[in-house]
């Protein structure tokens, strides 16, 4: 359909006013252009902006928590104004701490680590990388963003209800999450809003995944065979298949949780519970059912957060190493293997949950096996660096940093995957350090690499490289100082989710906690450099050429930023794979997947 001559395309545009097919006319009016836009590029940017708001919110929450942990009795100026019930005189109450922790986890996992690398970059880049004019279903795509945005508003609303936000953690274990306000402050309206928000989020992401899959399968341009698809597109495609399955399970879990909370059913609440001196009117439910449903989603979700990062790194690394990625087919096989295996390991979150201890052994095996493809992927990246001619741009540095932090976080997973060691480390800061390295810091480094790399394409301006390098260097040091010591705390048996270490318990860990807090505040402050660079470059950055990085994939064959239909009425014809670096080409040591779609201006 894409090689139809121009008049026919115009014709189709006319008849497809409400077609669930691309080929839309340039939008008119502010609302259509920037707010309720059907353009995947605008939607991608909207997702990234949402992630930016969310990450700032989540980060501020973590600062407050870290400050309180290091200085439990010191007043935080203004906190009593922000949370009158949770901080009289500015000193945080335990329940406020847990609320902040719950909101931090929920915001970061859902609204940052899922939206930015997957929905954000995926939306902007994937259709261009496969040579499509737009996503397969632009209307669903728009709904996907606005439902997700609504979900975010509903979650934030929990801050403003009288008892405050929920305090049951981002995993919302039943029955604490299901019992209602008897179970504690924030467990009333706040927890209900949480469940509604996550259910909405699931719907938004399902609509997104639907689009990603259909676009990749059906809208690839001429010559874009599966084996010529860029690694980033592969990763987004695999992630969307995983998301489709994972969010299809979390949604039912949230529906059942809501029914337990508001309709008096007993899916997750057993009988005979006495909470706040009240015998609860429930019977027979199974708390472990919630854990199984949640982690069946929850573990793949970890990979939903990190696989796009894998794709972004694999896409960017060859560009700046100026040589092809080692073992491209192996990489894709590994990504598929990780996606598949991630559905067999959810029980490793539940070794000590009271499920049959035999199943712990069964779940630990795939958990350890999944380290094989992950190790291979890492080795492929490191092997790619051998004999390379690395250009140290900010994007390249974040790729290298990604490898380092991912290795660190991956290796601590070796401990936790073994039930016999998990019996000691489970529930300690070791776990906190582990998952912040793999899905927090590594995923964030993937996002940063993506921003520095695609910013010129998104906004038509270059980012400031010097600021980028300073930002990278300080961030790398900062995150290691923040999260490495958490492993030491965990080894010493320091329990997580404690708002303070009072009396004698863990008193000796306080100096280390203070160090972590300093490092966290420092790392946070360093991000101001990034925000400044982001805003300054959008307004004042140097004009970006079409292909500033001398990269091969299709997004670099079109203008920066691309026209509304991505290739200006043309349809690129792909003749090469994305991995053609270090070969003699017309413009240097690389060959583009498709020649530029517009007359050369240089």
104-143: which residues touch other proteins (CB under 8 A)? 136-137
CB of 108 to other proteins, least distance (A): 17
User: What tokens were used for 483?
Assistant: 């999260």
What string marks each residue from 442 to 481 as x (binds other proteins by CB under 8 A) or -?
Answer: ---------------------------x---x--xx--x-
Chain centroid, CA 12 distance in Å: 37
CB of 323 to other proteins, least distance (A): 4
Q: How far is CA 26 from CA 43, 142, 564, in A?
A: 15, 16, 6
Q: How far is CA 67 from CA 48, 85, 399, 498, in A?
A: 28, 19, 30, 13
CB of 47 to other proteins, least distance (A): 20
User: Can you list the alpha helix ranges (DSSP code H) found in 111-137?
Assistant: 121-129
Q: How far is CA 75 from CA 102, 106, 381, 504, in A?
A: 21, 26, 47, 22
Q: Is residue 548 part of the contact set for other proteins (CB under 8 A)?
A: no
Residues within window 8-67 making contact with other proteins, judged by CB under 8 A: 15, 18, 20-21
Residues within window 205-224 making contact with other proteins, judged by CB under 8 A: 206, 209-210, 213-215, 217-224
How many C-beta atoms lie closer than 10 Å to residue 296's C-beta?
Answer: 18
Q: Is residue 569 part of the contact set for other proteins (CB under 8 A)?
A: no
Residues within window 308-337 making contact with other proteins, judged by CB under 8 A: 321-323, 326-327, 330
The region of 47-55, 74-82, 231-239, 352-360 touching other proteins under the rule CB under 8 A is: 352-360
CB of 52 to other proteins, least distance (A): 26
Binder among 84, 162, 264, 588 for other proteins (CB under 8 A): 264
The region of 52-60, 116-124, 364-372, 561-569 touching other proteins under the rule CB under 8 A is: 364-372
- CA-nearest of 155, 151, 148, 255 to 206 is 148
Q: Which of residues 421 and 529 has its CB atom nearest to other proteins in the complex?
A: 421
Binder among 56, 289, 518, 534 for other proteins (CB under 8 A): 289
Cis ω before 131 (30° cut-off from 0): no
- Crossing angle of helices 394-416 and 465-491, in 10° steps, is 10
- CA-nearest of 50, 112, 49 to 436 is 112
Q: Which of residues 52 and 235 has its CB atom nearest to other proteins in the complex?
A: 235
Cα–Cα dist 329/348, whole Å: 29
Q: Is residue 484 part of the contact set for other proteins (CB under 8 A)?
A: yes
CB burial readout 3-33, b (16+ within 10 A) else e: eeeeeebeeebeeeeeeebbbbeebeeeeee
CB of 391 to other proteins, least distance (A): 5
Q: Is residue 392 part of the contact set for other proteins (CB under 8 A)?
A: yes
Binder among 337, 382, 462, 529 for other proteins (CB under 8 A): 382
Q: Which of residues 55 and 122 has its CB atom nearest to other proteins in the complex?
A: 122
The region of 35-43, 91-99, 301-309, 435-443 touching other proteins under the rule CB under 8 A is: 91-99
Q: Which of residues 156 and 416 has its CB atom nearest to other proteins in the complex?
A: 416
Cα–Cα dist 32/26, whole Å: 10
CB of 213 to other proteins, least distance (A): 5
Cα–Cα dist 186/258, whole Å: 15
CB of 104 to other proteins, least distance (A): 14
Residue 563 near residue 585, CB atoms below 8 Å:
no
Cα–Cα dist 260/281, whole Å: 11
Q: Which of residues 326 and 551 has its CB atom nearest to other proteins in the complex?
A: 326
- CA-nearest of 216, 132, 149, 125 to 455 is 125
Residues within window 581-600 making contact with other proteins, judged by CB under 8 A: 582
CB burial readout 425-449, b (16+ within 10 A) else e: bbebbbbbbbbbbbbbbbbbbbbbb
Q: Which of residues 424 and 531 has its CB atom nearest to other proteins in the complex?
A: 424
User: Can you list the alpha helix ranges (DSSP code H) found in 24-137?
Assistant: 30, 40-70, 79-82, 94-106, 121-129
- CA-nearest of 557, 500, 446 to 224 is 557
The region of 29-37, 151-159, 371-379, 519-527 touching other proteins under the rule CB under 8 A is: 371-379
Binder among 75, 85, 418, 575 for other proteins (CB under 8 A): 418
CB of 30 to other proteins, least distance (A): 28
Q: Which of residues 232 and 367 has its CB atom nearest to other proteins in the complex?
A: 367
Residues within window 144-183 making contact with other proteins, judged by CB under 8 A: 167-169, 173, 175-176, 179, 183
Binder among 37, 314, 384, 517 for other proteins (CB under 8 A): 384
Q: Which of residues 458 and 479 has its CB atom nearest to other proteins in the complex?
A: 479
Chain centroid, CA 180 distance in Å: 30
Size of the site for other proteins (CB under 8 A): 155
Cα–Cα dist 260/585, whole Å: 63
Cα–Cα dist 28/37, whole Å: 10
Q: Which of residues 75 and 265 has its CB atom nearest to other proteins in the complex?
A: 265
User: What tokens were used for 219?
Assistant: 């809208």
What string marks each residue from 488 to 527 as x (binds other proteins by CB under 8 A) or -?
Answer: xx-xxx-xxxxxxxx--x---x--x---------------
Binder among 421, 462, 467, 521 for other proteins (CB under 8 A): 421
Binder among 143, 275, 510, 518 for other proteins (CB under 8 A): 275
CB of 243 to other proteins, least distance (A): 10
Binder among 117, 185, 204, 208 for other proteins (CB under 8 A): 185
CB of 467 to other proteins, least distance (A): 13
Token pair 């090469």 is found at: 576
What string marks each residue from 226 to 255 as x (binds other proteins by CB under 8 A) or -?
Answer: ------------------xx-xxx-xxx-x
Q: Which are the contacts of 349, defined by CB distance < 8 A and separation ≥ 6?
A: 291, 295, 298, 299
Residues within window 424-443 making contact with other proteins, judged by CB under 8 A: 424, 426-428
Q: Which of residues 285 and 308 has its CB atom nearest to other proteins in the complex?
A: 285
Q: Is residue 412 part of the contact set for other proteins (CB under 8 A)?
A: yes
Rounded to a whole number, what is the distance in angstroms from the first to the last CA of the chain? 31
């Amino acid at each position: 359909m894409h090689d139809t001559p121009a008049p026919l395309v115009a014709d189709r545009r006319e008849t497809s006013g409400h077609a669930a097919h691309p080929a839309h006319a340039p939008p008119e009016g502010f609302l259509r252009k920037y707010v309720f836009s059907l353009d995947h590029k605008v939607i991608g940017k909207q997702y990234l902006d949402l992630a930016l708001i969310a990450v700032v919110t989540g980060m501020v929450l973590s600062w407050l928590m870290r400050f309180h942990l290091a200085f439990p009795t010191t007043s935080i100026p203004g906190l009593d104004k922000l949370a009158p019930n949770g901080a009289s005189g500015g000193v945080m109450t335990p329940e406020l701490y847990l609320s902040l922790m719950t909101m931090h986890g929920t915001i970061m996992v859902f609204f940052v680590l899922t939206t930015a690398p997957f929905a954000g970059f995926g939306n902007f880049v994937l259709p261009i990388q496969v040579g499509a004019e737009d996503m397969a279903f632009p209307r669903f795509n728009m709904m996907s963003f606005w439902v997700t945005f609504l979900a975010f508003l509903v979650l934030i609303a929990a801050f403003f209800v009288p008892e405050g936000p929920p305090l049951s953690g981002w995993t919302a274990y039943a029955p604490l999450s299901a019992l209602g306000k008897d179970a504690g402050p924030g467990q009333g309206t706040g927890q209900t809003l949480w469940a509604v928000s996550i259910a909405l989020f699931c719907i938004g992401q399902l609509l997104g995944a639907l689009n990603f899959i259909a676009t990749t399968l059906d809208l690839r341009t001429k010559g874009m065979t599966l084996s010529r698809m860029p690694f980033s597109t592969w990763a987004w495609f695999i992630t969307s298949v995983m998301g489709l399955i994972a969010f299809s399970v979390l949604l039912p879990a949230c529906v059942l949780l809501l029914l337990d909370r508001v309709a008096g059913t007993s899916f997750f609440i057993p009988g005979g519970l006495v909470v706040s001196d009240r015998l609860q009117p429930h019977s027979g439910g199974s708390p472990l059912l919630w854990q199984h449903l949640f982690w069946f989603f929850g573990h793949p979700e970890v990979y939903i957060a990190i696989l796009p990062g894998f794709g972004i790194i694999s896409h960017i690394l060859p560009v700046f190493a100026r040589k092809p990625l080692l073992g491209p087919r192996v990489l894709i096989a590994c990504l598929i293997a990780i996606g598949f295996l991630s559905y067999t390991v959810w029980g490793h979150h539940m070794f000590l949950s009271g499920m049959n201890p035999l199943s712990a052994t069964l779940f630990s095996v795939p958990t350890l096996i999944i380290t094989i493809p992950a190790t291979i992927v890492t080795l492929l990246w490191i092997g790619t660096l051998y004999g390379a001619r690395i250009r140290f741009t900010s994007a390249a540095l974040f790729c290298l940093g990604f490898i380092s932090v991912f290795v660190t976080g991956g290796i601590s997973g070796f401990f936790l995957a073994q039930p016999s060691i998990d019996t000691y480390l489970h529930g300690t800061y070791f776990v906190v350090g582990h998952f912040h390295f793999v899905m927090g810091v590594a995923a964030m480094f993937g996002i940063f690499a993506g921003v520095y790399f695609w910013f010129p394409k998104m906004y038509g301006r270059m980012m400031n490289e010097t600021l980028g390098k300073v930002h990278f260097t300080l961030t790398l040091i900062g995150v290691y100082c923040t999260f490495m010591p958490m492993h030491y705390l965990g080894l010493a048996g320091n329990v997580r989710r404690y708002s303070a270490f009072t009396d004698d318990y863990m008193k000796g860990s306080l100096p280390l906690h203070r160090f972590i807090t300093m490092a966290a505040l420092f790392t946070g402050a360093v991000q101001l450099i990034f925000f400044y660079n982001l805003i300054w470059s959008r307004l004042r950055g140097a004009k970006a050429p079409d292909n500033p990085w001398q990269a091969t994939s299709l997004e670099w064959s079109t203008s920066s930023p691309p026209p509304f239909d991505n290739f200006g009425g043309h349809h690129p014809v792909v003749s090469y794979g994305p991995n053609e670096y270090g070969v003699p080409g017309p413009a240097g040591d690389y060959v583009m997947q498709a020649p530029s779609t517009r007359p050369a201006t240089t």
